[in-house]
Amino acid sequence: MQKSVISIGPFHPLQEEPEHFSLTVEGETVVDVDVEIGYNHRGIEKLSERRNFEQSTFVIERICGICSTSHPFAYTRAVEDIIPVEAPERAKYIRTIIAEGERVHSHLLWMGLAGHFLGYNTVWMWVWRLREEILDVMEILSGNRNSYAMFKPGGVRRDINPDDIPMALKKIDAIIPTMDRLKKAILDDPVLHARLKGIGILSKEEAINYCALGPTSRASGVDRDVRKNAPYGAYDRVDWDMIVTQKGDVFDKVVVRVLETYESIKIIKTCLQQLPSGEIDLKLKSIPPGEGIGAAEAPRGETFHYVRSDGTNRPVRHKVRAPTFMNLPTCKATVPGSTISDAAIILASIDPCYCCTERMAVCTPGGERIYTGKDLIKMSQDKTEKIKREMGIK
Amino acid sequence: MTRAAVLRDFQDRFREDILDFFDKSPKRAYFEINPDALVPAATYIFRDLGARFHIASGVDARTHLEILYHFSIETMNLLISLRVKLDRENPKVDSLANVIKGANWIEREIHELLGIDFPGHPELRRLLLADEWPEGVYPLRQDYQEWDKKAVRDRGV
């Protein structure tokens, strides 16, 4: 059969990172996929070498707009690992609260986008309304809705005011009933079961070999979570469960993210209730020569930072590894064999900083057809409609 | 196996190739190994010890180039870093991408940013840099000079 190449990307305003996918298709079936990245390479590692240790925290907070805390978390831990010291107890709790709040809103953001890709625009709007609530909680606690700027090597920059805690707890409690309804609506929907089960399967062996991270690996039965494997912050002081499912398809990735949101809410509540008193900053004077490694579990998987110091006030090398760097190559294992209408949701299922469905060209010997990103989303939504009709659901 | 047993066993297996061992803390261990022994050593850690490959980080240390391969054994919360030191003039080390699929992209990245060659890599093409970036200019080398006169410059602090 004749093969065609469909290129998706590289720019899309919906999500933040431009990537370019080339899908090689035979008829409707994808046989190969290739990814090109680098459209948004900002040279942050080089930039960080020109800033001192404090300033670098702000630079790398801007690596990602959604998981803006995970990078400073890993970076500050890497700098503390050079010495080595650990942040004060109260700072650890505050860091954990901020990081978990971020996980809740990031997972909700993804659920909304996934709903949109599948033609569930009600879910999209509903989830994002709920996300506003958790952003309000973050604003109460840190003063910012996103990019919290709370971290610094040796502790946190600002304290949480004890007077704000009852208000934050009340707001969090108000989120839970809506979450319950949302969980029912997503996980018990027969159409979503028919649409998402059995597509984009990442086997356990492939997940290990590709070194997949976060929900992408945990949906494939790999019990891998930095918060449990190498506890940091206050994660070993509160009671929570790691969510692991076995099938590795897109539906399982949804399940992991929905249930993880509950665990995160639980962690935030426990941390706010148990928040110890004391110092929040070690007031580090200088960083000795040496190397340090820090890791933190971002919503999408582990972020990994390697920092080398030569005793001056600037890092000589700062390596940043974001989770999507390891998760994105797994599309080579998950996408081939699926149809084009499934490709959009499979590529989105790893929650990449994904943003590529702007332009789509089917290259045929007879010429080139250009689809817009809307068309790709529409193909995905049409398939859901078709399943609904077949199941007799209006 | 305990942490001490794992480290001792690894040292026994690769006795000839381990050039240096730095036991930094209960969670961190650094081995400097002979570049020729990288693939067997990494394969042993990844396959037999069941470790996870985090990433590799390339460093220009002025006198030589260095790559650190970070692995962690999650059951015992131990992070092992394998360090290889490479000659500045002709830096190359065998590719791990055929053993660990997750090493494919990072080797492509180090190849273009630091100019280290990885013989045996299935597709050593560019990952991040633009097509118009000149050959042989490696941005993460310490002697990197700005080549694009029209570029918007970072003015520092």
The answer to whether the CB of A126 falls within 8 A of the CB of A188 is no
3-state secondary structure of A291: strand
Burial of A45-56, coded b for 16+ CB within 10 Å and e otherwise, reads bebbbebebeeb
Inter-chain touch B154–A50, beta carbons under 8 Å: yes
**Residues in chain B whose Cβ is within 8 Å of chain A:** 24-25, 27-28, 30, 52-55, 57-60, 68, 70, 72, 74-75, 77, 79, 81, 100-102, 104-106, 126-130, 139-140, 154, 156-157
| pLDDT for the residue A14 | 45
Quick one: pLDDT at residue B153? 64
The model's confidence at residue A42, banded by pLDDT at 50, 70 and 90, is confident
The complex scores an ipTM of 0.93
| Domain B3-114, CATH class in plain words | alpha beta
- pTM: predicted TM-score of the whole model, two decimal places: 0.90
Joined tokens for residue A177: 């009933």
Provide the percentage of residues in chain A whose pLDDT is more than 90.
Answer: 53
Confidence (pLDDT) at A180: 93
Average pLDDT over residues A46-63: 88
In chain A, % of residues over pLDDT 70: 91
How, if at all, do strands B52-60 and B28-33 pair? Answer: unpaired
Domain definitions of chain A by residue range? 3-40+352-391, 44-325
Query: Within chain A, how many helices (H) and strands (E) appear?
Result: 15, 10
The residues, ordered by sequence, that sit 6+ positions from A332 with a Cβ below 8 Å of its Cβ are A33
Cβ-count burial of A365 within 10 angstroms (0-12 exposed, 13-18 middle, 19+ buried)?
Answer: exposed
What are the pLDDT digits (tens) for A339-365?
888 887 888 787 765 332 223 333 334
Nearest alpha-carbon partner for A216 in A96, A342, A334, A305: A334
Going by CATH, does the domain composed of A44-325 fall within 3.40.50.2000?
no
Sign (positive or negative) of CA dihedral A155, A160, A161, A166:
negative
Provide residues of A within 8 Å CB-CB of chain B.
37-38, 41, 43, 45-47, 50-52, 55, 81, 84, 206, 208-212, 224, 229-231, 291, 293, 295, 302, 304, 306, 308, 316-317, 319, 321, 325-326, 329
